[in-house]
């Protein structure tokens, strides 16, 4: 017979009276609880009936409260409960009401209870001295096989660890989750012996759960329904049976028995088993489906009850895939009773500071990906085969795959699909934004499926949502990256009747798929609750895990799947080392974790964009069960030691406060120092669990900016010396407001390596400037086109090279051609909007679709394409770049400040009266200038000058523009063009600031350069618009006019052929790269003949002091100021608005108060800002403290309507929330911002909004080319000055530098100028550490973030060598025509052979050779040596390795050989080739992706 206790109730166990029932079944323990609550609540039988009725129907004035009393004072549970009764009797009253009110009594692991109380009763109870805390019950969400083989725990033949641990036999794993499906084959008890005698649990009966559902495998079962308000129990089994599937999946992952032949419709086929297949399971159901919510929920009180019961029952390990930080004190009691507690870390990645369950006494788990992929072939109608990822399958009776109609649905929003027939068709959706994965997919999926589509090809920034395709209801849902999506879009645009065929998915496993990687959804550290504790602890498989659900097997992903993997491993270790403590087990898995994959390359973390993983991604690394079984040394902790560092109480916003003793002194297998200002000593001790006689050496990898020493550096162990203490001295090397940097400490000998991760953040002030990067709300100008000509639209006809030198003859040929189509010359003249006659031949004209088709059939016409809409992309900076004005920098002097170089600005116009455009001291306009000063509204002859030497505007092609909102001239009403022009070439203006912030000299990079203005952007009321036709006309005119440089802060890829003509006429073109970062593959303007600019941050910050009512001072970032006549800042009421959505603010009075808003999700910044502004300001708030995933945007003071808007990160936001929750009347005071500059602010960094590569249009061309300042740039706007941010600001910085170089080297070509800035760019900051890129989370920058690096004007002036290109060479590689979705197709000659100052190989399968040539522009006699940094997985050789130059040999060619070292479907890795001598360093970036198939498993 089994030795569990059977509960023959349909409700909860007899120890837990059901609050929803009118009957209770008290044993002696519960009776004592009732006595206690009787004394609190009072009254008689009629009162009892009333309370039961109220409880059953919702309790309008009662709520469930948790009373925590700390350590129990008696071993006998009945005495513990009796003491509760005695306590409450002094406050309330009646035994009968107590029986109805009680839900849970905590009497095994600790003392406390949960009960229905009024607010007054709860407050009275909280006043008693024995009560530590009273807190309302909280709701929480659940987070949601190959993996064990991948971890080295093979079943056939069995791994040594499985054998030695006897498969975890008789270890009891408690699963606190949604229950279990006992009939699953994963839980059969065949061959199991009797239940361990130490087991004291019960098998609680209930709905669809009888005695036989417990077994020798599932040895116990309980369920906990109380505490969930108004749950729709029709959707639940009132028992431990799992109707959600989550708990069954996690239980089978941890301890499922061996089940052969498992698959999901043929995918993932193999053996399903848990990590410890002979372990026992104890089930604690706390997760319930709540009506209409669409998710599973649980209550704090129930989880506490489960923890308490688990302590009593005798489990060894607890696995909780839940977000329940509020229960950390319950987990502490469990740990102090010898139980190992494992928590899922949460699924809110990749943003930082969102990790759940970070108490130092639990193991917090991140999710990683395994070496399995599900390639899905996509065959286009032109026979091109592409491969995505899916779980698509066909049933046996289904027909074979066939070709179906294919349509482009854009981003598949309702607006994008409106008017598009998708019924019965495969729809391509390309999502160019970013945000929570599930939410975006659900929106797309809903629109596509409702439209009756037969399939979906979804281009997205990640395919870590593969499991969502299970919801596709039988249609093919395939994920691809943007590069593949672009190829599909290109095909659709080139065909009248595009078709596609999608094959079912297949499975591949093994080293072809690089793994592990941290999953994109996995929540990241640091912990905001316990910053002195490094979290997560470990990563484990959590992506596409095949495990049990009901009677079948399904895929699931989440840290929920990772936690039971750790539980399974710990069960094996527990069986092998039964006397090891929880801390020893935790230490073993952390110190032996893998930080490299099987190719010995660093583990990567999927992020925005992808990055090398660090401890905030994966803790110690990816779990290594074999290594953990024999760790050599362990960092042990007496469980009572936690009490020395943490005072555990339940409060509304915090549980266990760190005491005055810093927690980094706790003997954890990691170190986190969040505030390193002075040298500190951290102590640790290790216990030898390996060979008795052993000597260990230390190896230190110091975090950047930190020096670490260890004493003693060698540890000697023997039979009498099993424990050694040591001291780590950590010293800051810099005085800077830094970000976290990472290192490690390793003890090693010939048998063992025990490594602990270290995270350190250097600070010098009471705020972290690093996390409040000074940043203005960047300009993203949305451009929309609407028809005004009925059935006619503006079309662009491209005719190639012009056939006449005389522009009038070119235009006349256009008129004649259109006359042949339209029938009359008059109609042709009226139809033409622009004639392109200077740089190339073509025109833009209003035509019907039929007329456009007829025009396209003419033999002289290369292509006809509709006019397109585009977007605008939107001083300290020049000093930061080394171009100091006082005293003047050498480059400025030698180039004469860019004198007489002509910069053309294609933008929103200019405000000519600005002081930045004064022509004082200028000589005559250069004689080569052929441009005009086009007059117009508010623009007369005097508005052009010797500074602004030309002005044109282009309004045609903007349909239904609201011209009342525009100057019909080159005058700038918007401010964007004025700002960019003053950045590039503004004159010197002293004493510029914005209300005292950023005071200094405003000037352009080339302050003596001339400006030519081409206005192409117009305000149409709700948006800004420009047209392809207008931009082409501006390019054409600029070629004619004689500009030297063109700066375009717009998105106009479609105009790349026009830019090519300009480059071939000797003009340098600089484009902004776009503001769609940090997601990859969204870089704009990537033609190889232009310079594409990313945005970086400068060394300036705007700290803003926030003082709370408890005198705590915090610092955020803002542009808040007070006018001279305003009163000083004072304290004002402070309220917590949650995420400040309408729902969160409903019922909250915010008028006259400062509102705290914390946005814990992520996505495009403006989406959050606009919503928060609208809701907060409409409520009359007096201030805003906004906690967001990034502070790379300072809210413009004009947007803030005169009130302080302060940005903080989630850490600071959490501290403010904690203060609010602890006070009855919280207040705060916000001081005006001030400016700091210099080395205290770590810079440069790539801005978070800056669009990232690779280029989807030209993958063999590395983009962006260069990064330049684009964050909080102070420049001209009308008669004043304003901050602005964006790659729009970066592009004119590059244009200004180019102007100086052009003045210094007037004979250099466009390619030479581009080469000079790329090869001399900075890849390190002024402290010598790698430049970082703001991302989700932050990462070390790579070429897809910043190209060659951050622009270095002084280095570019004397680059030594240049990579030159004959402009006509571009024609050898690119066939430039206008089509609907592409312009310049790469020809059969791969573009990586073009002599660019970079190399990009998107598909390296076999060894290849790339040729380059360099021209000496330095010392005549020079010798250069080569230095190669090969991308990981690639072997690079250069022949010859040395280049010798002299008067007769100015150009040298060389050959770069690249060979893949692995056979793997890889991701991009990065390297460089540098030519150097004693005077010059000439470096080009290299990006390589190894592939072995026609798909990139990397994006799987």
So which residues are the catalytic ones?
A: 177, 246, 560, 907, 976, 1288
User: How far separated are the first and last CA of the chain, in Å rounded?
Assistant: 49
What tokens were used for 31? 């009776």
Other residues' Cβ atoms within 10 Å of the Cβ of residue 1160: 15
The one-character DSSP state at 838 is: S
Residues 6+ apart with CB under 8 A from 912: 939, 943, 944, 945, 948, 971
The pair of three-digit structure tokens given for residue 762, joined into one six-digit string: 């250097």
- Asked if the bond preceding 1100 is cis, omega within 30° of 0, the reply is no
DSSP character string of 1031-1094:
HHHHHHHHHHHT-SEEEE-B--GGGHHHHHHHHHTT-EEEEE--S-TTSSS------TTSEEEE
Omega cis (within 30) before 1348: no
Q: Which of 1229, 1270, 1239 is nearest to 1122 (CA)?
A: 1229
Preceding peptide of 569 cis, ω within 30°? no
Could you tell me if 1400 and 1347 are in contact, meaning their C-beta atoms sit under 8 angstroms apart? no
Residue 443 vs residues 431, 437, 448, 650: alpha-carbon distances, Å: 11, 10, 9, 38
CA distance linking residue 897 with residue 922, whole number of Å: 12
Using alpha carbons, select from 1193, 1184, 1244 the residue that is nearest to residue 1216. Answer: 1184
3-state class of 1232 per DSSP?
coil
CA–CA gap between residue 1 and residue 3 (Å, rounded): 6
Joined tokens for residue 964: 């009342």
CA distance 1212 to 767: 9
Give the span between the Cα atoms of 742 and 733, in whole angstroms.
14
Strand, helix or coil for residue 1150: coil
Is 581 in a helix, a strand, or coil? Answer: coil
Query: Residues 1081, 1379, 376, CA angle at the centre, nearest 5°?
Result: 45
Quick check: helix, strand or coil at residue 754? strand
**Max CA distance (Å), the chain:** 111
Q: What's the Cα-to-Cα distance from 1434 to each of 572, 605, 1488, 1493, rounded to whole Å?
A: 38, 20, 8, 17
- Give every CB contact of residue 1300 below 8 A, 6+ residues apart in sequence: 883, 891, 892, 895, 897, 898, 1005, 1006, 1353, 1357
- E strands in 801-895: 832-836, 841-847, 863-866, 872-873
Question: Which residue has tokens 């990313």?
Answer: 1094
Residues contacting residue 666 through CB under 8 Å, at least 6 positions apart: 360, 533, 637, 641, 642, 644, 645
Q: Phi, psi at residue 1304, to the nearest 5°?
A: -75, -35
Handedness of CA 986, 990, 994, 998 (dihedral sign): positive
């Amino acid at each position: 017979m089994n030795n569990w206790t059977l509960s023959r109730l349909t409700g909860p166990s007899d120890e837990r009276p059901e609050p929803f029932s009118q009957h209770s079944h008290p044993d002696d323990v519960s009776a004592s609880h009732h006595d206690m609550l009787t004394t609190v609540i009072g009254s008689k039988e009629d009162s009892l009936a009333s309370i039961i009725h109220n409880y059953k129907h919702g309790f309008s004035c009662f709520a469930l409260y948790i009373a925590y009393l700390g350590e129990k004072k008696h071993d006998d549970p009945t005495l513990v409960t009796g003491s509760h009764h005695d306590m409450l009797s002094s406050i309330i009253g009646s035994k009968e009401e107590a029986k109805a009110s009680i839900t849970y009594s905590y009497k095994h692991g600790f003392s406390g209870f949960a009960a229905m109380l009024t607010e007054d009763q709860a407050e009275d109870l909280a006043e008693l001295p024995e009560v530590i805390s009273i807190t309302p019950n909280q709701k929480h969400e659940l987070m949601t096989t190959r993996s064990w083989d991948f971890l080295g725990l093979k079943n056939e033949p069995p791994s040594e660890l499985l054998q030695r641990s006897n498969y975890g036999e008789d270890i009891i794993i408690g699963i606190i989750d949604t229950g279990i499906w006992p009939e699953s084959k994963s839980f059969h008890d065949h061959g199991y012996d009797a239940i361990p005698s130490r087991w004291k649990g019960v098998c609680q009966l209930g709905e669809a759960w009888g005695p036989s559902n417990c077994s020798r495998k599932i040895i116990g079962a309980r369920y906990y329904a109380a505490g969930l308000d108004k749950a729709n129990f029709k959707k639940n089994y009132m028992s431990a049976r799992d109707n959600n599937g989550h708990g069954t999946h996690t239980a089978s992952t941890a301890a499922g028995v061996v089940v052969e032949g498992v698959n999901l419709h043929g995918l993932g086929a193999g053996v399903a088993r848990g990590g410890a297949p002979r372990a026992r399971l104890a089930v604690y159901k706390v997760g319930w489906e709540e009506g209409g919510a669409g998710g599973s929920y649980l209550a704090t009180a129930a989880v506490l009850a489960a923890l308490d019961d688990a302590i009593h029952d005798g489990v060894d390990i607890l696995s909780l895939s839940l977000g329940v930080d509020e229960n950390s004190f319950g987990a502490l009691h469990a740990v102090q009773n010898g139980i190992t507690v494992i928590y899922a870390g949460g699924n809110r990645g990749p943003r930082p500071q969102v990790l759940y369950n970070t108490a130092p006494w639990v193991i917090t788990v991140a999710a990683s990906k395994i070496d399995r992929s599900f390639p899905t072939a996509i065959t286009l109608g032109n026979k091109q085969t592409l491969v995505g990822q899916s779980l698509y399958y066909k049933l046996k009776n289904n027909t074979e795959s066939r070709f179906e109609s294919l349509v482009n649905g854009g981003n598949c929003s309702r607006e994008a699909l409106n008017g598009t027939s998708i019924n019965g068709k495969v729809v391509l959706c390309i999502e160019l934004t970013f945000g929570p994965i599930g939410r975006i997919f659900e929106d797309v999926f809903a629109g596509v499926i409702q439209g009756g589509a037969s399939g979906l090809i979804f281009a997205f920034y990640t395919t870590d949502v593969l499991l969502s395709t299970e919801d596709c209801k039988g249609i093919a849902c395939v994920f691809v990256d943007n590069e593949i999506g672009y190829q599909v879009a290109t095909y659709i645009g080139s065909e009248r009747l595009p078709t596609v065929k999608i094959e079912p998915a297949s499975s591949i496993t093994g080293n072809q798929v690089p793994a592990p990687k941290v999953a994109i959804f996995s929540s990241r550290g640091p912990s905001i609750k316990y910053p002195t504790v490094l979290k997560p602890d470990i990563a484990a498989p959590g992506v596409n895990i095949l495990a049990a659900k009901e009677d079948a097997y399904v895929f699931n992903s989440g840290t929920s799947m990772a936690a039971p993997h750790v539980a399974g491993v710990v069960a094996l270790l527990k069986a092998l080392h039964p006397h090891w403590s929880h801390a020893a087990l935790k230490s073993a898995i952390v110190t032996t974790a893998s930080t490299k994959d099987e190719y010995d390359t660093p583990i990567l973390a999927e992020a925005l964009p992808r990055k090398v993983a660090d401890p905030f991604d994966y803790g110690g690394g990816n779990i290594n069960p074999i290594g953990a079984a024999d760790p050599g040394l362990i960092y042990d902790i007496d469980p009572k030691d936690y009490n020395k560092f943490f005072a555990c109480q339940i409060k509304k916003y915090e549980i266990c406060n760190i005491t005055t003793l810093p927690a980094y002194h706790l003997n954890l297998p990691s170190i986190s120092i969040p505030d390193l200002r002075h040298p500190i000593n951290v102590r640790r001790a290790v216990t030898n669990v390996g060979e008795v006689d052993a000597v260990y050496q230390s190896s230190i990898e110091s975090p950047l900016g930190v020096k670490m020493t260890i004493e003693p550096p060698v540890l000697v162990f023997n039979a009498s010396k099993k424990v050694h203490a040591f001291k780590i001295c950590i010293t800051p090397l810099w005085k800077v407001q830094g970000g976290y940097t990472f290192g490690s400490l390793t003890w090693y000998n010939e048998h063992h390596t025990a490594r602990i991760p270290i995270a350190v953040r250097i600070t010098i002030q009471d705020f972290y400037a690093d996390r409040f990067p000074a940043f203005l709300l960047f300009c993203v100008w949305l451009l929309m086109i609407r028809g005004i000509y009925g059935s006619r639209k503006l079309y662009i006809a491209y005719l190639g090279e012009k056939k006449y030198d005389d522009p009038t003859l070119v235009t006349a040929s256009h008129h004649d051609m259109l006359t042949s189509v339209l029938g009359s010359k008059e109609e042709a003249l009226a139809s033409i909007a622009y004639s392109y006659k200077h740089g190339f031949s073509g025109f833009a004209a209003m035509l019907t679709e039929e007329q456009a088709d007829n025009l396209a059939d003419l033999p002289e016409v290369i292509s006809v394409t509709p006019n397109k809409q585009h977007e605008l992309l939107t001083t300290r900076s020049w000093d930061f770049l080394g171009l100091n004005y006082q005293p003047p920098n050498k480059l400025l002097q030698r180039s004469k400040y860019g004198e007489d170089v002509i910069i053309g600005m294609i933008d929103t116009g200019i405000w000519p009266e600005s002081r930045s455009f004064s022509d004082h001291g200028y000589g005559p306009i250069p004689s080569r200038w052929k441009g005009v000063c086009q007059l117009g509204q508010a623009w007369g002859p005097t508005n052009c000058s010797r500074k602004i030497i030309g002005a044109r505007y282009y309004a045609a092609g903007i349909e239904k523009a609201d011209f009342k909102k525009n100057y019909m001239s080159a005058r700038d009403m918007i401010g964007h063009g004025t700002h960019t022009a003053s950045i590039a070439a503004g004159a010197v203006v002293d004493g510029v600031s914005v209300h005292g912030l950023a005071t200094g000299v405003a000037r352009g990079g080339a302050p003596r350069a001339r400006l030519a203005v081409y206005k192409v952007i117009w305000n149409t009321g709700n948006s800004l618009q420009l047209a392809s036709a207008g931009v082409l006309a501006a390019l054409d005119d600029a070629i004619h006019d004689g500009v030297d440089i063109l700066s375009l802060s717009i998105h106009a890829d479609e105009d790349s052929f026009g830019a090519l003509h300009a480059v071939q006429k000797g003009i340098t073109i600089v484009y902004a790269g776009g503001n769609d970062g940090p997601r990859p593959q969204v870089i704009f303007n990537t033609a190889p003949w232009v310079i594409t600019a990313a945005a970086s941050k400068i060394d300036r910050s705007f700290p803003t002091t926030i003082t709370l009512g408890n005198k705590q001072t915090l610092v955020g970032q803002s542009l808040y100021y007070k006018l001279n006549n305003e009163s000083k800042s004072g304290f004002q009421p402070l309220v917590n608005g949650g995420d400040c959505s309408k729902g969160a603010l409903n019922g909250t009075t915010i008028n006259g108060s400062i509102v705290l808003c914390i946005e814990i999700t992520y996505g495009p910044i403006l989406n959050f800002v606009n919503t928060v502004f609208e809701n907060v300001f409409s409520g009359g708030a007096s201030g805003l403290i906004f906690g967001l995933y990034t502070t790379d945007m300072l809210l413009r003071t004009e947007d803030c309507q005169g009130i302080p808007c302060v940005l903080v990160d989630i850490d600071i936001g959490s501290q403010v929330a904690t203060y609010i929750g602890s006070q009855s009347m919280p207040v705060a005071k916000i001081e005006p911002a001030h400016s700091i500059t210099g080395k205290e602010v770590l810079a440069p960094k790539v801005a978070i909004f800056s669009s990232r590569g690779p280029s989807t249009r030209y993958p063999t061309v590395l983009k962006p080319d260069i990064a330049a300042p684009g964050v909080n740039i102070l420049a001209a706007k009308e008669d004043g000055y304003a901050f602005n941010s964006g790659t729009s600001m970066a592009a004119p910085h590059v244009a200004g530098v180019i102007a100086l170089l052009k003045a210094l080297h007037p004979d250099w070509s466009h390619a030479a100028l581009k080469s000079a800035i790329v090869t001399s760019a900075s890849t390190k900051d002024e402290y010598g550490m790698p430049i970082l890129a703001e991302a989700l989370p932050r990462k070390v920058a790579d070429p897809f973030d910043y190209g060659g690096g951050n622009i270095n004007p002084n280095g570019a002036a004397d680059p030594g060598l240049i990579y030159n290109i004959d402009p006509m060479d571009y024609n050898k590689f690119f066939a430039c025509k206008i089509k609907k979705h592409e312009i310049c197709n790469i020809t059969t000659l791969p573009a990586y052979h073009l002599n660019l100052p970079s190399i990009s190989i998107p598909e390296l399968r076999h060894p290849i050779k790339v040729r380059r040539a360099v021209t000496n522009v330095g010392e005549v006699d020079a010798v250069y040596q080569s230095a190669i940094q090969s991308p990981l997985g690639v072997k690079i050789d250069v022949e010859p390795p040395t280049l010798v130059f002299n008067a007769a040999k100015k150009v040298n060619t060389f050959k770069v050989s690249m060979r893949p070292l692995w056979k793997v479907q890889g991701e991009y890795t990065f390297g460089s080739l540098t030519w150097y001598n004693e005077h010059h360093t000439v470096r080009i970036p290299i990006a390589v992706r190894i592939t072995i198939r026609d798909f990139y498993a990397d994006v799987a």
